[in-house]
Structure 1
Amino acid sequence: MSDRAPQPVERLLPTEEARDLISLVRDIAQREIAPKAAEEEDAGRFPREVFTLLSQSGLLGLPYDSEYGGGDQPYEVYLQVLEELATARLTVGLGASVHTLASYALATYGTKEQQVEHLPGMLGGGLLGAYCLSEPSSGSDAASLRTRAVRDGDDWVITGTKAWITHGGIADFYTVMARTGGEGPRGITAFLVPGDAAGVSAAPPEKKMGLKGSPTAQVHFDGVRVPDTHRIGEEGQGFTIALSALDSGRLGIAACAIGLAQAALNEAVAYAAERRQFGRPIADFQGLRFMLADMATQIEAGRALYLAAARLRDAGRPFAQQAAMAKLHCTDTAMRVTTDAVQILGGYGYTTDFPVERYLREAKVLQIVEGTNQIQRMVIARHLVGPEGR
């Protein structure tokens, strides 16, 4: 890896508080996250202590109400924090995004009593969350989920299996979508399930091509009993809650993708400036210079796209179409940029001595999680021309 320090991204932030926040994140990233990233990813180690530090620093509840331990930050700022974390290590940026996604249902649809009881621990008390929507047989077709919650007096009994759950097996709480009524989206309800509830267990983590430090596992709910006070929103409102959460979550994935792409560009620029061939740095060759220029332009366009969507969200305006566009463009950009970074490093880029091969492996999953990019295209088209089969 090159010793040449990359220039930090120049950010236009709305307040002095936001500028101080980014400085704090960069300091944590440089001291606590980046130096250990390669070793821990190779070992498949999840950095729980980093998430404890982020929680103690007020960085795991940024877009939520300070009354409950949040940071009162707009998405425009929160997403740039995610980008900084993902630049240092995608496992951390993605983990922070998933935790925010898992907290969304209670923070947005929960009762005042639920929020007072649970949100302080979730947003600043060191707890880590997971979001449980997908199942072994329902991924893109999330409305066909089979996990069921049956009413039993003042309790609900949840039975089923969720799949591809980030933080599966290590989360302190799960936001679970379960079927309480008939088939289709209107029969789904959201629940808050403690990670240590009787009947909750996890399969061994999936063996993945990248993000090996971020545990992804099936989570089993075997007759898990939770009180009705852990139901979030109304019965049958769960699918609406799930989709609303994903609109915001997709912006988190977009920001993480740009962070990963920025890390790859930083490494490619540093290597090109130092690697000499034919008596001069390879950065002097026009073909390679144009590759770097294209990579930087794609990253900047992606950053502008996710920030534009965030500003719509912050203004209370519809942003679902723009969130889908941002997720689509930014994750495709991460795939292109990391591929080009490997090419620029040549044979060295294909070795584990340099981080770009890891970046390439990590980029792929971003085109899949929280709605594949094919689903994003469907969402965008529906906004443009209406639903299929009209």
Structure 2
Amino acid sequence: MDFAFTAEQEELIRTLRGFARKELATRSQHWDKSGEFPASAWRQMGELGLLGLRAPAEYGGQETDLLTTGIAMEEIARGDFSCTYALQLAGLAGEIIGKNGSDEVKKRWLPGIISGESVVAIALTEPSVGSDAANLVCRAVRDGDEYVITGEKSGISMGMFAHVVMLFARTDASAKARGVTAFAVPLDAPGVSRSQLRDLGSRSIGRAVLSFDHVRIPASHRLGEEGTGFYQVMRGFDFNRVFITLACLGSAQASLEETMAYVKERKAFGKPIAQFEGVSFPIAEAATYVDAARWMSYRALWLADHGRPYTKEAAMAKWWGPKLAVETIHQCLLLHGHYGYTDELPFEQRLRDVIGLEIGDGTAEVMKLIVARELMGRETLPY
């Protein structure tokens, strides 16, 4: 077994660590306080090639392996957690649109997504359907050369800023998972409306409720065959859950490094507080757990890149990594004392940001159901 990164991956880490520190971390608090969409950062990440890592080469993408993309997620999160949504959603677009879209749809959207000029979102969750994604209510009805979409999607990251969504709707009322179809829906289409949610964290990603009132789109905007949408998004969720975990761990790792530097300088009772076991032991424990979760995540992506099953490993990483990141950042906040509780330091923002992805793309409870299913079979499921 070889646990070393390639020379190219090491260079990517150096490049992105500098970029995250200089270009993202310096503006992260402004984006959080203002709720402003970081459009310039999206374009910068496009220029670096980050938004085309998983996209087809013929549209300007790189078709990079999943492990390298996961490394990029972790490094970007060090500077600004919300900016990792760019890599997440562009990666899902490369998978879902890149593999299932018509030539018309791919030509229209992929180059702009890759450059950072066009923003993409994924519209799966509904007001009454979150984890139970096979029971969508939003429907798409075929009408000649068009589909008519009616329904509501909620909790949609980038919903206020996206130009296009990968939307999942029911095309067969008699089927569950096999009745769900994917579509590329431009958000400037007549009948689309948006309503922003007021979130605890990740305020710059414009999470929203999207309403579709008899929205007409060409049949060519269907992504793949009817009834294949659920399976498309589940394949994407496996790797994206690991990406999310690595983003959370990147934020936790940055917090740990800042805290280690602080406790070596901060003095109490005549010596650096790092010399007190009540300070050093929590840091040692957090560093151990973060490293273990990181390598679990890398292993999951390595399995995926080698064509091996990794659903169990992805779910393991997703239930544990975000929870661990929240606990680690919280501990770092506490070790900074009362200044850690202010918005002068980044811990309170990181904590708020990371909590959101204890929910997004699968709660811990659903992830544990998946792990149990993969370990013991479907007969262990409660449904």
Match of 1:8 in 2: none
Change (3 A) 1:44 1:51: same
Greater Cα offset, 138-147 or 158-167 = 138-147
Is 2:165 aligned against 1:165?
no
Question: 1:23 Cα shift?
Answer: 2.9
Match of 1:223 in 2: 214
In the aligned structure 2, how far is the partner of 1:195 from the partner of 1:104? Answer: 20
Question: 1:114 Cα shift?
Answer: 4.4
2:242/2:314 contact within 8 Å kept: yes
Among 234, 247, 255, the residue aligned to 2:246: 255
Greater Cα offset, 207-216 or 364-373 = 207-216
**2:63 aligns to what SS in structure 1?**
coil
In the aligned structure 1, how far is the partner of 2:69 from the partner of 2:108? Answer: 24
Among 292, 301, 315, the residue aligned to 1:301: 292
| 1:326-365 mapped onto 2 (5 Å cutoff) | 326-365=317-356
Match of 2:277 in 1: 286
2:60/2:111 contact within 8 Å kept: yes
Question: 1:12 Cα shift?
Answer: 6.6
One-letter amino acid matched to 1:158:
I
Question: 1:125 Cα shift?
Answer: 5.8
| 1:86-235 mapped onto 2 (5 Å cutoff) | 86-111=77-102, 114-124=105-115, 126-183=117-174, 184-203=176-195, 205-235=196-226
1:103/1:129 contact within 8 Å kept: no
How many residue pairs get aligned? The number is 379
In the aligned structure 1, how far is the partner of 2:382 from the partner of 2:345? Answer: 49
Change (3 A) 1:125 1:254: closer
One-letter amino acid matched to 1:196:
D
In the aligned structure 2, how far is the partner of 1:268 from the partner of 1:14? Answer: 26
In the aligned structure 2, how far is the partner of 1:125 from the partner of 1:82? Answer: 16
Question: 1:56 Cα shift?
Answer: 2.2
Q: How does the TM-score come out when normalised to structure 1?
A: 0.92
- Per-residue CA deviation, residues 235-273 of structure 1 (Å, 9 max, x unaligned), is 111111121111121111111111111122122112212
Among 235, 252, 265, the residue aligned to 1:244: 235
Greater Cα offset, 98-107 or 243-252 = 98-107
Change (3 A) 1:117 1:202: closer
In the aligned structure 2, how far is the partner of 1:268 from the partner of 1:42? Answer: 23
One-letter amino acid matched to 1:187:
G
Question: 1:75 Cα shift?
Answer: 0.9
1:98/1:166 contact within 8 Å kept: no
In the aligned structure 2, how far is the partner of 1:66 from the partner of 1:217? Answer: 32
1:149/1:179 contact within 8 Å kept: yes
Question: 1:274 Cα shift?
Answer: 1.7
Give the gaps of 5 or more residues in structure 2: none
What do you get for the CA RMSD once the two structures are aligned? 1.9
In the aligned structure 2, how far is the partner of 1:132 from the partner of 1:29? Answer: 28
Question: 1:117 Cα shift?
Answer: 4.8
Question: 1:16 Cα shift?
Answer: 3.4
2:102/2:220 contact within 8 Å kept: no
Percent of aligned pairs with the same residue?
37
Q: How does the TM-score come out when normalised to structure 2?
A: 0.94
**2:205 aligns to what SS in structure 1?**
coil
In the aligned structure 1, how far is the partner of 2:113 from the partner of 2:206? Answer: 19
In the aligned structure 2, how far is the partner of 1:366 from the partner of 1:115? Answer: 29
In the aligned structure 2, how far is the partner of 1:30 from the partner of 1:290? Answer: 28
Give the gaps of 5 or more residues in structure 1: 1-10
Change (3 A) 1:389 1:260: closer
- Per-residue CA deviation, residues 327-375 of structure 1 (Å, 9 max, x unaligned), is 1121111011012112211222212121112222222112111011110
